[in-house]
Amino acid sequence: MNAGRRPAALVYAVALAAYVAAVFHRTSLGVTGVDAAERFHVNAAALATFSVAQLAVYAAMQIPVGVLLDRYGSRRLLLTGGALMVAGQLLFAVAGDVPAAVAARVLVGLGDAMTFISVLRIVAFWFPGRRNPLLVQLTGTVGQLGAVLGAVPLVALLHHAGWTPAFLTAAALGATVVLLLLVAVRDTPHAEHAAALAPDLATVRRQLADAWAQPGTRLGLWTHFVTQFSGAVFALLWGYPFLVQGQGFSPTAAAGLLTLMTVVTLVCGPVIAHLCARHPFHRSVVVFAITAATAGVWAAVLAWPGRAPHWLLVALVVVLAVNGPGSVIGFDYARTFNPVRRIGSATGIVNVGGFVASIVLILAVGVVLDLATPAGQAAPTLSAFRWAFAVQFLLWALGAVQVLRYRNAARRRLADGRVTAAVPAAA
């Protein structure tokens, strides 16, 4: 099929399927954490290194991937990323020790890092500019369906067929998506052009420095930091053990609650996007509201005497579901406070914020769980989980102070006329 005749909807649908698969691979460890601890005979802190390795690679690769994308295009990066994630799941399926398991999660993180930004580039080339904001939000929201596949179906398969068949199936799903990419996706709707040369190192450094010097970029980074980590860590690793070991849920019920979290994300994503589009000057108010609501519900859960009632845990996953769409506000700041030539650099900087916070929290929860669990006890107690999740309040305090600081700095720069924002009154 000629690229020029290829329907844009088909190209986008397959690229979006690649992102759904990436989210599936990314979150597949979260619902299998208890089984992973048993399989590899590790404690909570060691189990945390699996997710930390995956997220650290993802965060570290954001800016390099942007440079590679400019040179090689979306199709090559989506194919490479998909192949790396398949390899990671294959290795995870047969891994029998910790080094092999960590290497598997590194491969998943590396492939995942190439996916989302590549899909956004597909959107930019295949659709008119006026449709880009909606499609970007749609990509981030629909992509969370991958977490649904990584919850109930994967848990059911794991408990029915065992570890290796479950992750071999995950790899087969990823391989199917790679084949679809190979057949259906092209970089542009026109005849393929020779890839542009990558920017030289001096240009890359200058664009990064200019993006970092813009307070709006740092406002985006700290927005991403403060809104993303709690929901991400709950979904990626510690939510499932907390519900099963701490709150006494069955594995199926816990997976169902994580699925509910994803469904709510799908619903509230467009709502957050609409609020930010209608009230750009008050985007930081939305950020503070999401942060306060998340911290407030967590405080109620952790302070509840004994196990929390089911209605309160449902409220927790609902408010955590808003974290993902809330973190997208950080990318909106990058867009509105930076010229087009450095959007990639600014977006890469912003995307690091939430994942660094997630890495810190994953490690901290693992360490505190080990310290607070009585010696000789196999599973952490509810009390241990309470102390571990209380670490979040330090991160929320830091993030909220920084958001307030850089919001004020961005508004001063706007008032001085030293920046032209894409929308009026953009903080």
**Using CA atoms, how far apart are residues 109 and 118, in angstroms rounded to an integer?**
15
φ/ψ (deg, to 5) at 423: -130, 150
pLDDT for position 133: 64
Query: Are 249 and 380 members of one domain?
Result: yes
Structurally, the chain folds into a number of domains equal to 2
Which pLDDT does position 282 carry in this prediction? 87
pLDDT score for 417: 66
Domain boundary among 147, 169, 191: 191
Whether the CB-CB separation of 38 and 149 falls below 8 Å is answered with no
Positions in the chain short of pLDDT 70: 1-6, 31, 129-130, 132-133, 150-151, 191-201, 204, 340-341, 343-344, 417-427
On whether the CB atoms of residues 211 and 346 are closer than 8 A, the answer is: yes
64 and 174 in a single domain? The answer is yes
Q: How far apart are CA 28 and CA 35, in angstroms?
A: 12
Question: Are residues 160 and 58 part of one domain?
Answer: yes
> CA-CA distance, 77 to 71, in Å (whole number)?
10
Last residue of a domain, one of 158, 174, 191: 191
CATH of the domain at 101: 1.20.1250.20
205 and 119 assigned to the same domain:
no
205 and 76 belong to one structural domain: no
Given 191, 222, 238, the domain boundary residue is: 191
Maximal CA-CA distance, the chain: 65
Do residues 237 and 385 both lie within one domain? yes
Tell me what pLDDT residue 195 has: 47
One domain, residues 156 and 206: no
pLDDT tens string 347-390 = 778 888 998 999 899 989 989 998 998 877 777 899 999 999 99
C-alpha to C-alpha distance for 113 and 57, rounded to whole angstroms:
8
180 and 270 co-located in one domain: no
Residues 236 and 180 reside in one and the same domain: no
Residue 425 belongs to what domain range?
A: 199-427
Q: What is the pLDDT, as a whole number, of residue 341?
A: 66
138 and 276 together in one domain: no
CB atoms within 10 A of CB 377: 9
Distance CA 237, CA 254 (A): 12
pTM: 0.79
Statement to judge: residues 160 and 125 lie in one domain: yes
Span 118-136, pLDDT tens digits = 887 888 788 876 676 677 7
pLDDT score for 29: 79
62 & 176 share domain: yes
The per-residue pLDDT for 85 is 97
Distance CA 279, CA 193 (A): 40
List, in sequence order, the alpha helices (H) in 5-115: 8-27, 33-40, 44-60, 62-94, 98-113
